[in-house]
Chains A and B, each alone.
Chain A
Amino acid sequence: MHDVSGEPQAVPAAHDEGQHHPIGLYLKVWGWLFVLSAMSYAVDYFQVQGITRWTLIIVFMLLKAGLIVSIFMHMAWERLSLIYAILVPPLVLLVLVRIMIVESNYTFWTRAIFFGGGG
């Protein structure tokens, strides 16, 4: 058992040493998330189309995701071993995306050519 009061650092020091951050940091990130969400909503509201739309959506999405993971989820202050163990595996999903793009093109053209454009 650990101490009941005082010395918050007495518990395994390594894991929470980096988690004492000023409130201002969180409020700033919170504000940025609001701004970025408003901007992605604006993309739709002002009917931006085509490649500009997709680029903007992806950029705002990645910025928001980055802020949430690094600051709110404290990933920026974790050990590298944990960061890599969590952030690297999802990258293989890009392979699945690539495979399924090829597959959906095939399905689309099969439907268009042989099923007379049926759903």
Chain B
Amino acid sequence: MSQVTKERNETEENAQGWRAIVADWSTDREVFRHTHWGKAMMWIFLLSDTFIFSSFLISYMTMRASATMAWPDTAEVFALTIGGQSIPLILIAIMTFVLISSSGTMALAVNYGYRRNRKVTAALMFATALLGAAFVGMQAFEWTKLIEEGVRPWSNPMGAPQFGASFFMITGFHGLHVTCGVIMLLIVATLVLRGHYDRAGDYSAVEIAGLYWHFVDLVWVFIFAFFYLW
């Protein structure tokens, strides 16, 4: 490498703010060379997934805004009777807290991963997978309950027929993501426990798995707000 190029590179490495962006994007090289490749790839995948979930939520918005029949009251539809008292939306609230807790344990797992604490990392990841499985279980319960009440993708007894289509598509696709996430977490956690990443000397896989898991939680934040609370 010539002296000039070397000096130029060093200036770019230390650039800040907009200069850093221009330097990263303009030099006809890999833009994300400072980031672990797997992490950059996961972020780009998550960006594409953002567009998929956004399309679902926007089509839900379109269907709800164009429905001439009353939209079912989600507080009532998702109410549960506990101890003889009907509590509105309680199942969804519990699911939200379970998913947030799983995000918390995942964040801690990533942290312990970078501290090279193999056992705690694996334990936290298994806890995350367990909470994720609990979430999917509650979702299955919710689906069963609604199907028994006569909710179908094309009709339902509570009001606008578009409700069923939105519900099954949005929560179904999210549930699929959670299920895939649980499987991925189990695989990565097993590798952690076996010491695979200690031998490779790189715990980035834990953080990348974490990115996906936090994204699943992130999507739920939007579904919770727009579908269940709105």
**What is the bound-complex CA distance between A113 and B111, given in angstroms?**
59
B207 adjacent to A19 (CB under 8 Å): yes
**Chain A residues within CB distance 8 Å of chain B:** 1-5, 8, 10-12, 14-16, 19-21, 23, 26-27, 29-30, 33-34, 37, 40-41, 43-45, 53-54, 57-58, 60-61, 64-65, 68-69, 71-74, 78-82, 84-86, 89-90, 93, 96-97, 100-101, 103-105, 107-108, 111-112, 115, 117-119
B61 adjacent to A104 (CB under 8 Å): yes
A37-B67 contact given A57-B225, A90-B50, A100-B58, CB 8 Å threshold? no
With both beta carbons as reference points, the residue of chain B lying nearest to A30 in the complex is identified as B104
With both beta carbons as reference points, the residue of chain B lying nearest to A31 in the complex is identified as B104
Tell me the residues in window 89-112 of chain B with beta carbons closer than 8 Å to chain A beta carbons.
Answer: 89, 93, 96-97, 100-101, 103-104, 106-108, 110-111
Q: How far is the CB of A86 from chain B (nearest CB, A)?
A: 5
B218 adjacent to A68 (CB under 8 Å): yes
14 A-B contacts, Cβ less than 8 Å apart? A21-B111, A26-B108, A29-B107, A37-B224, A41-B93, A44-B88, A44-B89, A68-B217, A71-B107, A72-B107, A74-B207, A85-B47, A93-B54, A111-B66
Residue in contact with A119 in the complex, picked from B54, B161, B224, CB distance below 8 Å:
B161
B35 adjacent to A103 (CB under 8 Å): no
B66 adjacent to A108 (CB under 8 Å): yes
**Chain B residues within CB distance 8 Å of chain A:** 17-18, 20-21, 24-25, 31-32, 34-36, 39-40, 43-44, 46-47, 50-51, 54-55, 58-59, 61-63, 65-69, 75, 88-89, 93, 96-97, 100-101, 103-104, 106-108, 110-111, 114-116, 160-162, 198-204, 207, 210-211, 214-215, 217-218, 221-222, 224-225, 228-230
Chain A residue numbers with a CB within 8 Å of B66 are: 103-105, 107-108, 111
Chain B residue numbers with a CB within 8 Å of A41 are: 89, 93, 96
A100 adjacent to B51 (CB under 8 Å): no
Q: How far is the CB of A16 from chain B (nearest CB, A)?
A: 6
Chain A residue numbers with a CB within 8 Å of B88 are: 44-45
A81 adjacent to B221 (CB under 8 Å): no
Chain B residue numbers with a CB within 8 Å of A101 are: 61, 65
Since A45-B88, A111-B66 are in contact, a sample of 13 more A-B pairs with Cβ atoms closer than 8 Å, ordered by chain A residue number, is A2-B200, A11-B202, A21-B111, A29-B104, A30-B100, A30-B107, A44-B75, A65-B222, A79-B20, A80-B17, A100-B61, A115-B68, A119-B69
Chain B residue numbers with a CB within 8 Å of A15 are: 34-36, 39, 204
Residue in contact with B58 in the complex, picked from A37, A60, A93, A119, CB distance below 8 Å:
A93
A81 adjacent to B31 (CB under 8 Å): yes
Chain B residue numbers with a CB within 8 Å of A100 are: 58-59, 61-62
